[in-house]
Amino acid sequence: MENGHILIDKPAHMTSFGVVARLKRVLSEQAGKKVKVGHTGTLDPFATGLMIVVVGTECRNAEYYSKLDKTYEATIHLGQTSSTGDPEGELTSVSDEQPAEQSVRAALAQFVGAITQTPPIYSAIKIGGQRAYDRARRGEVIEMPTREVKVASIELLSYSYPEVRIRTDVSSGTYIRTLAQDVGDVLATGAYCTQLRRMSVGTWSLDDAKTLESFGITS
């Protein structure tokens, strides 16, 4: 393929840029020339699931894809916080209180609708022309701008303390790591996101995605 888009099931422990770089190498080798490849919204390294990769002239439409609504399945771990909001950060114990399922459902319900989020400092958002995560890693104090996002729904898939599994439909720009932290604040237990899987982007589904292995990419 030299123009169009590819649905990829991103593996864990790989950056979105890593996915693009590997596909670019393979597609360029197949085409016998350099092929332009880009992504339409990053997934955190620990996260898995649907990435829409644009190729060739379709790269000009990357912003269209990035603005589409998304569906995620996530596991929220109660009782601790993480400096990055995910398993890769420094963990801090907050509380060993075990909220009742009714309390968990009530906390989740508070975040359905239009809400205001403060994105994590460890994110790809540019602050002063630099990625926030680069500045955070240098130890800089960063004031992250708040943003309004929309959470169309949150479904509680299961709850077995300390793990809360959810499925949520959200607008572009919503951070599930932040949602997990905010739920932990409401419950006064602390929380962070241990697993995150993007299930859909707009009308495109993870069910239709290819693995990197199908392109001969093993790492």
Supply the residues annotated as catalytic: 44
Between CA 12 and CA 106 the distance in angstroms is: 31
Give residue for tokens 């919204």.
41
Q: By C-alpha distance, which of 167, 176, 172 is closest to 69? A: 172
**H/E segment holding residue 153:** strand 147-160
Q: Give strand pairing partners of 160.
A: 163
Q: Report phi then psi at 116, rounded to 5.
A: -105, 130
Give the separation between CA 26 and CA 111, rounded to whole angstroms. 42
Specify whether the CB–CB gap between 98 and 56 falls below 8 A.
no
CB 168 within 8 A of CB 154: yes
